[in-house]
Structures are given as structure tokens and as C-alpha cells.
């Protein structure tokens, strides 16, 4: 167990947790958003981020501070908390971004970590190498080795109470990401950023983001707090939380505001093209698009940045609430409908249903079936695994209808798409008292048929009869030959 991080509630791989940041004397509830504060240009002052938006933690760049004379002098003299006027936890980045951008920087892990410690950072960062997507495996391996060396250098620095990030790299190679995660978790460092996903997010490759993050998580294990580095768009928080990310950082709120971009949980709009402001935040209730556009450049940018932050923090709260009530996958499913890339991301997430299932909790509110993807959720998988352990009597009727008045079966079990069969004793347990639509897709029946397969294979001695309600051929084709099937749909009329 890592001392700084405590998990309070889980939903799949997602969790609500508490990150204790000893040097700041604060505990941050996760999932959390860290606004990125440019030390040279504060769109919204950090004090306001804390008091009006509820930011408990922010991130700024120690490399820019170190290389800007007046900032450096002030940071050394006053300390970061006073310089930024921020009472929460302050995370500092190291210059790795500049390294990736310009090819070289004039510092080392040891030197920059000492500097971060000296100016009062609460969570410092070594100089890792953010390897972009799609490079050769050789390059990804070489750069990962350099990142791992930076982590050893970081372990050797005396950082007192300052927590230290252990970035996980490995480009788009899941095996390297997993290995990098396992290596990072074996260090005595504290917080684990999954690095270099920004190019994937910027090009809407949400499915690849899910695959590399799921791989990093396999290596890291459940008890490491994970930061999806550079992820700040609210449209993907639910999905990223579902794969086990705890921290997000947003430079987007300010950068997007600069080019007139208006964030929503469904995507990004140009404020020039909006006829209405579809948001209940203070900015959007005080303005209409015309009055917003009429503001001078600077005021307009600030107003947009404030709206962008309100939307971003609201989505973080919604994600936390969904995890607490066990409805995060329903939220992801809803968000997945907003953009084709989100749909791909959700489908990639469901490819890892087995990994999600391992940490999923046994009981939640009510399982809502809202799309064909619901049939692939970890709860369905878990039920099918449970069916392999259930014992059956000699002659068993599985039926979508009630118990017939007259029959010669030893027992009668219900069958419900997408889960399949279950004994009466389980009918009131999660997820089997699910809400499902009347008009289901074929995949839901195929999933139910998979459940029949699990049960029949585990109990070869039993004589099964399946009474179904006009199942499609794809589902009936999945049912084993020795299960007798009977279309009872006439009973339902």
C-alpha cells in the first residue's frame, strides 16, 4: 500500500480516493483536476482557482521559473505558495515537455528536483523522456531506459516531505507501458503520471489512449495514484477515470479560451458560432453569445476561461458522484455517444472488461442497459464466470417466461438478456434486477446465449431446455446443440 493514497470507493477500475500531500498539509480528493498555471501569465489568479472553483491542487512548470530570472528570484525568496498565492498543493513539472519540444534542456533530474524542493513544491517531477506515439520499438525502449534512469536519480535525491512523480512512458507499445508501470511501482516514488498521451488525445485516438493506460495500470497495480498527463478535456474524464486515472491537468481551459473555444462535455464549440450559451455557469447566465463576443479581447478570454473551468470542474464532480453510486459505466456510455472517438474509446475500454472486472465491486444500484455496448460490460462477464460455478439439477428449464403450470423439470430458472440464466435465489441481486429496454439488439441475446453456454459446459450431466422469446439466429446458433430450444414467444402475446 502506498502511504500517500487511500481508496475510498471503486467502480470498475475507477476510484474515489484521497491523496495526502504532506508538504502542503492538504488531502486532495480524487479524481481531481489540476489547473495548469503558467507562471508568466495567470489567466485566472490561483487564489480564485481555489476559492471560486474549488481547486485543491494545481500544476506549474519549475523549468520556466528556473529559467526566467525574476520568477526564479521571487520563487527562491518567497517560495511557490506565496509567489502564486495558492493555499492548496502545488505540483511542478520539470522541463520534460521543453525537452520533447526543443530536443534539449540545460538541467538534470537531480538539479531540477533540488530546485523544486528549494522553491517549496509539494510534488516534484524528474526529467523523463515523453516518447511520442508510433515511434520505432527500439527508440521507445531506449528512451524508456533513460526515463527509468531518471527515476533512480530521483530516488537518490533527498526531497524531504515533497512527493515525487514517477512518469510511465513506452509510446504506443502496451507491453512497454506495462513494464514501465511495474518498474515505476517498484520505486519508492509517489505519484504516477502516464506520459505522452497528449498527441493521442489531440488526434482523437481515445482507443489508443485507453490501451496504453490500461497497460500502464496492469504494471502499476491498483494502489498507485495515476495522473493522465496532459488530459484536460471534460469530454474524456469519465472514460479516463473508468480505466483507473485519478488526476487530470488542464491547460485547455486557458489555451482554448485564447482562440475563442468553448468547452462542453460533448466536445468543443467556437464561441463565434454559438447562437446560445448552453450552460448554467455564472458566465453563461450573465451573458449571451453576443455580449460575450462584444467584450474586449482580454475580458472575453477571461470569461471563456472561467466558463471552461466551470464545465471542467463540474464534470469532475459528476465523475466522482458516478463512482460513488456505481454508475460510472453508464456515464461513460452516455459520453461515448457524443463523438465517434469517444465511442471507439468506450469500445476499447470494454476490450479490457476482464481487467475492469477484477476490481469492480459486487453490488451497485441498478444496472441500466442503454446501448449494445452494455452487453459487453464487466458485470455481464462476471455473471458468465459465476455461471461456470453453479450446480444444476438433472433436468432444468431456462426460460424468459414464468414457470409453466405443468412441467416435469426439476427446476426452472429465469433467462434475461444480456446476462443469461440465473437461479431464483439470485434474481434480486446486482446486476440481475437490471433495467433493460424492450427493444434489444442481437448482441444482448448473443450475450445471454453465452451465459447458457457457460452453464451448460459446467454441467454436462444436466438436460437443459431453453424457452426463449423469439431469439435471433445469431443467438440460437451460439446455444450448444444438446440444449433443447423452444420458441415460446406466442406465450408473450
281 is in an annotated binding site: yes
As measured in angstroms, the least distance from the Cβ of 113 to Zn ion is 39
93 is catalytic: yes
* CA–CA gap between residue 143 and residue 148 (Å, rounded): 9
As measured in angstroms, the least distance from the Cβ of 178 to Zn ion is 40
Q: Specify the residue, 168 or 263, whose C-beta has the smaller distance to Zn ion.
A: 263
Looking at beta carbons, which pairs linking 423-427 to residues 24 or more positions away fall under 8 Å? 423/390
* CA–CA gap between residue 226 and residue 194 (Å, rounded): 7
Its sign, for the CA torsion 376, 379, 380, 385, is positive
Q: Specify the residue, 281 or 338, whose C-beta has the smaller distance to Zn ion.
A: 281
Question: Of the listed 11, 56, 93, 360, which one is catalytic?
Answer: 93
* CA–CA gap between residue 20 and residue 2 (Å, rounded): 11
Its sign, for the CA torsion 195, 62, 256, 50, is positive
* CA–CA gap between residue 455 and residue 13 (Å, rounded): 27
Q: Is the separation of the CB atoms in 64 and 94 below 8 Å?
A: no
Q: Identify the helix (H) or strand (E) that includes residue 60.
A: strand 57-61
Q: Specify the residue, 135 or 279, whose C-beta has the smaller distance to Zn ion.
A: 279
Q: Specify the residue, 307 or 468, whose C-beta has the smaller distance to Zn ion.
A: 307
Q: Specify the residue, 167 or 234, whose C-beta has the smaller distance to Zn ion.
A: 234
DSSP secondary structure string for all residues of 76-136:
HHH-HHHHHT--SEEEEE-SHHHHHHHS--S--HHHHHHHHHHTT-SEE------PPTT--
CB-facing half-sphere around the CA of 44: CA atoms within 13 A? 31
128 is in an annotated binding site: yes
Q: Specify the residue, 284 or 328, whose C-beta has the smaller distance to Zn ion.
A: 284
The residues binding Zn ion (CB under 5 A) are: 279, 281, 283-284, 307
* CA–CA gap between residue 448 and residue 443 (Å, rounded): 9
As measured in angstroms, the least distance from the Cβ of 285 to Zn ion is 8
Q: Identify the helix (H) or strand (E) that includes residue 46.
A: helix 46-51
Widest distance between CA atoms in the chain: 89
As measured in angstroms, the least distance from the Cβ of 430 to Zn ion is 36
Q: Specify the residue, 280 or 393, whose C-beta has the smaller distance to Zn ion.
A: 280
As measured in angstroms, the least distance from the Cβ of 315 to Zn ion is 12
- Peptide linkage before 431 cis (omega within 30 of 0): yes
As measured in angstroms, the least distance from the Cβ of 416 to Zn ion is 42
Its sign, for the CA torsion 330, 18, 161, 179, is negative
196 is in an annotated binding site: yes
279 is in an annotated binding site: yes
Residue 63 CB partners (closer than 8 Å, separation 6+): 93, 94, 95, 98, 105, 107, 112
Question: Minimal CA–CA distance to 420: which of 393, 390, 394?
Answer: 390
Binding residues for substrate: 128, 196
Binding residues for Zn(2+): 279, 281, 284
Active site members: 93
Amino acid at each position: 500500500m502506498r502511504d500517500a493514497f487511500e481508496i475510498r470507493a471503486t467502480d470498475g477500475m475507477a476510484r474515489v480516493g484521497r491523496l495526502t500531500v504532506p508538504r502542503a498539509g492538504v488531502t486532495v480528493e480524487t479524481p481531481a483536476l489540476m489547473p495548469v498555471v503558467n507562471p508568466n501569465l495567470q489567466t485566472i489568479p490561483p487564489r480564485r482557482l481555489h476559492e471560486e472553483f474549488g481547486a485543491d491542487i494545481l500544476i506549474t512548470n519549475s523549468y520556466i521559473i528556473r529559467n526566467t530570472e525574476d520568477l526564479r528570484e521571487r520563487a527562491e525568496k518567497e517560495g511557490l505558495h506565496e509567489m502564486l498565492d495558492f493555499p492548496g498543493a502545488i505540483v511542478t513539472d520539470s522541463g520534460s515537455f521543453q525537452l520533447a519540444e526543443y530536443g534539449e534542456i540545460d538541467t538534470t533530474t537531480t538539479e531540477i528536483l533540488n530546485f523544486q524542493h528549494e522553491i517549496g513544491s509539494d510534488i516534484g517531477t524528474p526529467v523523463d523522456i515523453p516518447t511520442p506515439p508510433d515511434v520505432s520499438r527500439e527508440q521507445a525502449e531506449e528512451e524508456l531506459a533513460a526515463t527509468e534512469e531518471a527515476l533512480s536519480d530521483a530516488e537518490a535525491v533527498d526531497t524531504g516531505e515533497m512527493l515525487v512523480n514517477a512518469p510511465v512512458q513506452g509510446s504506443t507499445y502496451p507491453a512497454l507501458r506495462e513494464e514501465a508501470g511495474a518498474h515505476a511501482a517498484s520505486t519508492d516514488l509517489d505519484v504516477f503520471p502516464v506520459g505522452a498521451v497528449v498527441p493521442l488525445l489531440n488526434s482523437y485516438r481515445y482507443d489508443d489512449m485507453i490501451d496504453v493506460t490500461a497497460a500502464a495500470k496492469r504494471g502499476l497495480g491498483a494502489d498507485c495514484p495515476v495522473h493522465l498527463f496532459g488530459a484536460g478535456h471534460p469530454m474524456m474524464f469519465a472514460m479516463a477515470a473508468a480505466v483507473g486515472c485519478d488526476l487530470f491537468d488542464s491547460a485547455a481551459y486557458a489555451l482554448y479560451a485564447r482562440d475563442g473555444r468553448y468547452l462542453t462535455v460533448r466536445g468543443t464549440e467556437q464561441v463565434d458560432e454559438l447562437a446560445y450559451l448552453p450552460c448554467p455557469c455564472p458566465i453563461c447566465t450573465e451573458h449571451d453569445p453576443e455580449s460575450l463576443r462584444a467584450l474586449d479581447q482580454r475580458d472575453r478570454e477571461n470569461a471563456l476561461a472561467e466558463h471552461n473551468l466551470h464545465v471542467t470542474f463540474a464534470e469532475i464532480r459528476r465523475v466522482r458522484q458516478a463512482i460513488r453510486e456505481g454508475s460510472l459505466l453508464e456515464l461513460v456510455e452516455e459520453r461515448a455517444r457524443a463523438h465517434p472517438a469517444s465511442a471507439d474509446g468506450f469500445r476499447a475500454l470494454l476490450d479490457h472488461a476482464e481487467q475492469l472486472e477484477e476490481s469492480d465491486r459486487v453490488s451497485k444500484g441498478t444496472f441500466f442497459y442503454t446501448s449494445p455496448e452494455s452487453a459487453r460490460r464487466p458485470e455481464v462477464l462476471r455473471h458468465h464466470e459465476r455461471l461456470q460455478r453453479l450446480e444444476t439439477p438433472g433436468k432444468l428449464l431456462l426460460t424468459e417466461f414464468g414457470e409453466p403450470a405443468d412441467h416435469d423439470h426439476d427446476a426452472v430458472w429465469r433467462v434475461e438478456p444480456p446476462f443469461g440464466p440465473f437461479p431464483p435465489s439470485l434474481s434480486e441481486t446486482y446486476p440481475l434486477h437490471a433495467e433493460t429496454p424492450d427493444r434489444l439488439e442481437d448482441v444482448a441475446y448473443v450475450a445471454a446465449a453465452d451465459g447458457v453456454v457457460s452453464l451448460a459446459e459446467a454441467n454436462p450431466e444436466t438436460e437443459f431446455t431453453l424457452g426463449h422469446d423469439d431469439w435471433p439466429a445469431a443467438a440460437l446458433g451460439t446455444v450448444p446443440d444438446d440444449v433443447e430450444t423452444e420458441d415460446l414467444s406466442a406465450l408473450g402475446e
